[in-house]
């Protein structure tokens, strides 16, 4: 056999083996690829959700707003101790923050408060909350709740608002589109300008004013109708008649010349059918379906378009409880249609709240019994927060439900009227109302280009796992270009020595994980100015700069009908602030933190008052500080530190600190009056911190811990910075003795009780106690809570307070 013949034989044999191997391994389908891409995104993009329990729905300026923060994972709603800081803001109607706070989180919960200043104008505000990690996914994922704030010290809008204009009528084609000659379903909702639902009837007219469909609202101003459009563009108009007889005319969404429509139908109690139809211009194609619920992949499937139609059947019982998202793709993984479906959760947390009596006298003790059980009756432990406030016309807004938020409203766009209805009511009417809700409030949770991208995800905002991250940027002072590889230092002048370091990245960004900083502080950010002086630093705003349309809500406080309650609340606030001002604003004494310096115990410690006080710092160091050697060169003073381990002297300079702030100009430090310095500590060995190694440490501390007038380098950035919020202790008087009950100090509290940390560890229930005030009326107890398994619940009860006869 010739060489050429042998080569041909071997090649044909290898080709045959390869073809056989290909036949044994099934080619990956487009649906499999879609599944893998989504699961990769799911593993990288962990979802957090926040829920805030606010103590009341309506406030007056001068009052305290109290809140509890719950953090759960976005898939299973279990407590998620990922982030250590929550960012809470109060936004005005222009979406500008008027109050901001960084609330520390421990074990997936936190608590905070805002004192509402007298400068706030009356109006609707939005409380929103999020974590640093949540900023990667947009403001649609933040917690948002509308609140009303009334300033009784300024002229406010206590004038009845007009209800004669501003009706909001919206139409939502199922799947997202109306397509010419394809049957489609259209949902709609009718609201007034304050967001209240309205009843209406109507019909759809084509371009020739011929009626092609009729409709009427069902629950909460929503409904749906079906028709087949035969024209394209803005060819159809809806004419509505409201319950007050007023007629409205609105355009339907434009009809596409070609495209896809999606229809979902419950064909049985166990089965859903999703039908995709395409216009004739589309041609033969394979359609992909992806179903997911709160980032949990439910299914992927594919089917060919046969006669312009593809049908998918889904077992309803295999879907997750809550909202499922179904998205249709083509084989190029381009999203075509989307549809939401709601499955009512079966197991829920039931919180029972009951007072020991239905009616109390003023300044009488109230015993409140709390129990937490599942829907099956099984008692379970839960973490709760409790608020008790007086009911009046200003606080008549519905209480937000923790359970409804997790299962429903957090996954929907816009305000949902009576969300608890969809979780507790039963019957065909509820199913129809839930389907209309899914059609009118749905939104795509993802930017599919990012989800299905072939490149790894890059997140701009890291999670704050162990403490607050102070982020900054370093730029060249001449060109404005980012500076990379620059070592920077961050410190806050204090008697507790803490310094943080970071090296700038390619984009000039630096970040410091600062633990234990509370309240308003001065931060000093700098590099070693003896080595790097052509730069400027900027501390970045940690609060989100992205906003969305504020949730709508009715604000009754602007009606003169409520003038009496406004006057009463105004009197309450002024008297409480006058007689109890020193109580509500007191900050809680935090658990003592470690007062050791970041380097631990020093090798040498000198309290200068124990020695002869010299007038020059050079004499202090030369006379009795053993570990520090002072050298004078052409450019001035230099420090070196003894290397205790190797019994020699370091050749490089040590890290020199004054009240925790690095000092790189030794001459300036040596000119300081030593009588202002209380102590000096020396580390006589190398010390590693992060990526840096110091040739010993020399740390000076003044009596006040505020640098005592020391002039920092002009290149150093000194900025006032609000660190973590210090928690306040809720104050309420107790009337345990007859003398206390007979006190002549007025007690006109509107908020009787606030406790953000109640645990029902006793399966028989927990009993709380508090005292009523001098305010007669009806009071509401609101309890929100969560179990370790992710079961959320809301409970409430009422009681009366009447003066003793």
Identify whether the C-beta of residue 694 lies closer than 8 Å to the C-beta of residue 654.
Answer: yes
402 DSSP assignment: H
What six digits make up the tokens of 469?
């991250």
Provide the 3-class DSSP secondary structure of residue 178.
strand
Predicted pLDDT of residue 75: 92
The whole-angstrom separation of Cα 474 and Cα 216 is 60
Give alpha helix (H) positions in 580-698: 617-624, 666-670
With tokens 């009463």, the residue in question is 568
* Contact between residue 655 and residue 725 where contact means Cβ atoms under 8 Å apart: no
Task: For residues 125-141, give the mean pLDDT.
Answer: 95
The token pair at 454 is: 């072939």
The Cα 243–Cα 417 span in angstroms is 19
Which region among 99-108, 384-393, 542-551 has the lowest average model confidence (pLDDT)? 542-551
Give the CA diameter of the chain.
122
Please check the confidence at residue 135 and state whether its pLDDT lies above 80: yes
What's the token pair of residue 379? 């008692």
Question: Which has the higher per-residue pLDDT, 747 or 22?
Answer: 747
The model's confidence at residue 414, banded by pLDDT at 50, 70 and 90, is confident
Contact 451, 38 (CB under 8 A): yes
User: What are 498-532's pLDDT values in tens digits?
Assistant: 999 999 999 999 999 998 899 999 999 999 987 77
> Which strands sit side by side in the sheet containing 184-191, from one edge to the other?
168-173, 184-191, 222-227
- Give the span between the Cα atoms of 472 and 445, in whole angstroms: 30
> Residue 402 CA to chain centroid, in angstroms?
15
Instruction: Quote the pTM value.
Output: 0.91
- Give me the torsion for CA of 590, 592, 593, 599, rounded to 10°: 160
Q: Which residue has the higher pLDDT, 587 or 118?
A: 118
Tens digit of pLDDT for each residue in 641-682? 999 999 999 999 999 999 999 999 999 999 999 999 999 999
If you compute the radius of gyration of the chain from its CA atoms, what whole number of angstroms results? 33
At 669 the three-state DSSP class reads: helix
CA-to-CA dists, residue 737 to 269, 542, 583, angstroms: 62, 49, 20
pLDDT bin (cut points 50, 70, 90) of residue 3 is: very low
Angstrom distance (rounded) from CA 414 to CA 431: 20
Cα(63)–Cα(51) distance, integer angstroms? 22
Q: State the CB neighbour count (10 A cutoff) for residue 450.
A: 13
The token pair at 290 is: 């992806």
Neighbours of 142 (CB within 10 A): 23
d(CA 191, CA 161): 16
Q: So what's the pLDDT on residue 2? A: 45
Distance, in Å, from the CA atom of 154 to the CA atom of 159, rounded to the nearest integer, reads 14
pLDDT at 16 over 90: no
Q: In a 3-state reduction of DSSP, which class is residue 293?
A: strand
What are the pLDDT digits (tens) for 150-169?
Answer: 988 876 544 444 444 578 99
pLDDT of 380 = 94
CB–CB of 601/698 below 8 Å? no
Residue 553 has pLDDT above 70, yes or no: no
Give the model confidence (pLDDT) of 730-767 as tens digits.
989 999 999 999 988 889 899 999 999 999 988 788 99
Burial readout 43-68 (b: 16 or more C-beta within 10 A, e: otherwise): eebebbbbbbbbbbbbbbbbbbbbbb
Q: What are phi and psi of 723, to 5 degrees?
A: -85, -150
Q: What is the dihedral of CA 693, 531, 508, 523, to 10 degrees?
A: 80
């Amino acid at each position: 056999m010739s060489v050429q013949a042998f080569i041909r034989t071997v090649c044909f044999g290898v080709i045959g083996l390869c073809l056989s191997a290909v036949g044994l391994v099934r080619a990956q389908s487009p649906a499999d690829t879609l599944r893998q891409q989504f699961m990769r995104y799911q593993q990288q993009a962990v979802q957090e959700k926040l829920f805030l329990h606010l103590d009341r729905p309506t406030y007056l300026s001068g009052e305290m707003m109290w809140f509890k923060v719950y953090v759960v994972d976005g898939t299973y709603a279990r407590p998620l101790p990922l982030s250590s800081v929550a960012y809470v803001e109060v936004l005005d109607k222009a979406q500008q923050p008027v109050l901001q706070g960084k609330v520390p989180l421990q074990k997936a919960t936190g608590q905070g408060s805002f004192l509402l200043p007298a400068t706030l104008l009356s109006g609707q505000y939005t409380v929103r909350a999020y974590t640093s990690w949540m900023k990667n996914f947009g403001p649609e994922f933040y917690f948002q709740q509308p609140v009303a704030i009334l300033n009784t010290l300024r002229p406010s809008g206590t004038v009845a608002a007009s209800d004669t204009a501003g009706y909001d009528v919206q139409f939502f084609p199922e799947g997202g589109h109306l397509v010419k000659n394809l049957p489609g379903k259209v949902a709609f909702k009718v609201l007034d300008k304050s967001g209240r639902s309205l009843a209406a009837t109507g019909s759809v007219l084509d371009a020739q004013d011929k009626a092609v469909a009729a409709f009427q609202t069902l629950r909460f101003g929503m409904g749906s109708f079906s028709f087949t459009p035969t024209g394209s563009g803005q060819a159809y108009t809806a004419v509505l008649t409201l319950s007050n007889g007023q007629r409205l005319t609105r355009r339907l969404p434009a009809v596409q010349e070609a495209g896809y429509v999606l229809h979902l139908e419950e064909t049985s109690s166990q089965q859903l059918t999703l039908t995709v139809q395409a216009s004739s211009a589309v041609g033969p194609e394979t359609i992909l379906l992806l179903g997911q619920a709160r980032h949990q992949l439910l299914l992927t499937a594919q089917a060919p378009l046969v006669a312009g139609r593809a049908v998918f059947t889904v077992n309803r019982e295999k879907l997750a409880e809550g909202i499922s998202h179904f998205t249709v793709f083509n084989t190029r993984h381009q999203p075509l249609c989307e549809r939401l479906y709601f499955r009512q959760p079966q197991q829920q947390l039931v919180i029972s709240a009951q007072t020991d009596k239905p009616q109390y006298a003023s300044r009488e003790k109230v015993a409140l019994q709390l129990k937490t059980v599942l829907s099956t009756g099984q008692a379970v432990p839960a973490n709760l927060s409790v608020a008790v406030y007086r009911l009046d016309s200003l606080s008549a807004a519905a209480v937000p439900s923790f359970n409804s938020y997790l299962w429903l409203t957090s996954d929907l766009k816009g305000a949902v009227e009576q969300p608890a209805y969809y979780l507790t009511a039963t019957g065909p009417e509820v199913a129809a109302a839930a389907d209309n809700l899914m059609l009118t409030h749905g939104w795509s949770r993802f930017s599919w280009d990012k989800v299905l991208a072939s490149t790894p995800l890059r997140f701009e905002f890291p999670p704050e796992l162990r403490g607050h991250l102070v982020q900054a940027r370093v730029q060249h002072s001449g060109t404005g270009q980012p500076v990379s590889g620059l070592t920077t230092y961050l410190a806050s002048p204090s008697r507790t020595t803490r310094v943080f370091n970071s090296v700038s990245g390619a984009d000039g960004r630096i970040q410091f994980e600062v633990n234990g900083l509370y309240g308003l502080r001065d931060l000093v950010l700098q590099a070693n100015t003896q080595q790097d002086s052509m730069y400027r630093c900027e501390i970045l705003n940690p609060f989100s700069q992205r906003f969305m349309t504020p949730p709508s809500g009715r604000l009754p406080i602007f009606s003169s009908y409520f003038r009496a309650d406004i006057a009463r609340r105004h009197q309450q606030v002024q008297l409480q602030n006058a007689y109890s001002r020193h109580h509500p604003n007191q900050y809680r004494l935090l658990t003592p933190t470690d007062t050791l310096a970041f380097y631990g115990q020093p090798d040498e410690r000198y309290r200068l008052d124990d020695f002869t006080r010299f007038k020059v710092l050079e004499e202090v160091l030369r006379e009795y500080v053993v570990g520090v050697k002072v050298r004078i060169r052409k450019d001035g003073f230099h420090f070196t530190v003894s290397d205790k381990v190797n019994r020699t002297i370091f050749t490089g300079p040590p890290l020199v600190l004054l009240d925790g702030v690095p000092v790189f100009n030794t001459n300036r430090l040596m000119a300081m009056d030593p009588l202002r310095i209380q102590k000096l500590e020396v580390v006589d060995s190398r010390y590693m911190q992060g990526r840096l190694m110091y040739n010993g440490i020399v740390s000076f501390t003044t009596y006040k811990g505020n640098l005592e007038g020391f002039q920092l380098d002009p290149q150093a950035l000194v900025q006032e910075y609000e660190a973590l919020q210090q928690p306040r202790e809720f104050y309420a008087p107790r009337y345990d003795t007859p003398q206390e009950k007979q006190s002549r100090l007025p007690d006109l509290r509107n908020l009787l009780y606030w406790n953000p940390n109640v645990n029902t560890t006793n399966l028989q229930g927990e009993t709380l106690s508090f005292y009523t005030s001098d305010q007669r009326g009806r009071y509401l107890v609101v309890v929100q809570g969560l179990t370790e398994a992710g079961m959320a619940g809301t409970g409430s009860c009422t009681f009366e307070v009447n003066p003793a006869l």
